[in-house]
Amino acid sequence: MPDIHHFALFLLSGLLLNLTPGADMLFIISRSAGQGVRAGAMAALGVGAGCLVHVTAAAVGLSALIAASDVAFGVVKWLGAAYLVWLGIGLLRAKTPAQGSRATAEPMPAAPLRAVFWQGVLTNVLNPKIVLFFLAFLPQFVGPAPGGQGWAFLLLGVVFTVNGTLFNLGVAWVAARARGRMAGVGRMQRLALWVRRVTGLVFVGFGLRLALASRL
């Protein structure tokens, strides 16, 4: 049986992460703005499929690693804690919703829907930050029960992916309806900035919690 702790907190944290603009969201918005809601939806589904690759890797690798060695657990713990704190501080210091990347998602040249899907897969799979996030984030909600950790990682990852995909489909729909409109952009940017800051505080807290943990 999966050994999962603080599931409600996991859902809230996942929601905050999904609300935070990143490369995946910008890709989805770009496709919706350039080709309409169908292309945006295919981009969102591709991103979700890519996320499942990371989930499977985390479920197989992390569960085996944690079960095998206390030293390996310590390495994962401290690296994960440092990454979460670093990520949280970066979000807290943000001055714009997408600092360090394009402030707005410009439409991309048209492409077949199948190609858009695979572009979404690669956008997610080839992002090393997603790998680090799953390595640092998922273990905090998995208990120590032997034999159930792999299933717990997999279940949490699938829940996170499904929720994220539903949110991204909503983003695609909104972006498609707003094609060519600039009204409300400033308000949305301010909202995104506060979401990033709240998420930053949550991630710093997770990092400190993970650093103080004696065992997952």
Please give the average pLDDT of every successive group of 10 residues along the chain, which has 216 residues.
Answer: 76 81 78 85 94 83 61 68 77 59 53 89 76 74 69 86 93 80 53 68 76 62
Q: Is residue 135 part of a domain?
A: yes
pLDDT recorded at residue 118: 92
pLDDT recorded at residue 19: 79
- Using alpha carbons, select from 56, 68, 70, 72 the residue that is nearest to residue 150: 56
* 13, 52, 117, 167, 211 from 41: Cα distances, Å: 23, 17, 9, 11, 38
User: Rounded to 5 degrees, what are φ and ψ at 184?
Assistant: 85, 5
pLDDT recorded at residue 57: 80
Q: Helices 113-125 & 37-68, crossing angle to 10 degrees?
A: 30
Q: Per residue in 86-113, pLDDT tens? A: 867 876 876 654 444 444 445 556 778 9
pLDDT recorded at residue 188: 53
Q: Is residue 1 part of a domain?
A: no
- What is the pTM (predicted TM-score) of this model? 0.69
Q: Is residue 145 part of a domain?
A: yes
User: Rounded to 5 degrees, what are φ and ψ at 142?
Assistant: -115, 130
- Using alpha carbons, select from 146, 154, 198 the residue that is nearest to residue 61: 154
pLDDT recorded at residue 168: 93
Q: Is residue 114 part of a domain?
A: yes
Q: Is residue 120 part of a domain?
A: yes
How far, in Å, CA of 185 to CA of 168, rounded? 18
- Contact predicate 20/87, CB 8 Å: no
For the chain, the domain total comes to 1
What would you measure as the largest C-alpha separation in the chain, in angstroms? 55
pLDDT recorded at residue 151: 81
Segments forming the whole domain that contains residue 208: 7-212
Which SS3 state, helix, strand or coil, does residue 4 take?
strand
- Using alpha carbons, select from 82, 156, 166, 164 the residue that is nearest to residue 124: 164
Q: Is residue 90 part of a domain?
A: yes
Burial degree of 13 (CB within 10 A; 0-12, 13-18, 19+): buried
Q: Is residue 41 part of a domain?
A: yes
Could you give the residue ranges of the DSSP H alpha helices within the chain?
7-19, 23-35, 37-68, 70-92, 113-125, 128-137, 149-177, 185-212
pLDDT recorded at residue 146: 61
Q: What is the CA radius of gyration of the chain?
A: 18
Q: Is residue 142 part of a domain?
A: yes
pLDDT recorded at residue 144: 65
What is the rounded (10 degree) CA torsion for 150, 15, 52, 39?
170
pLDDT recorded at residue 127: 67
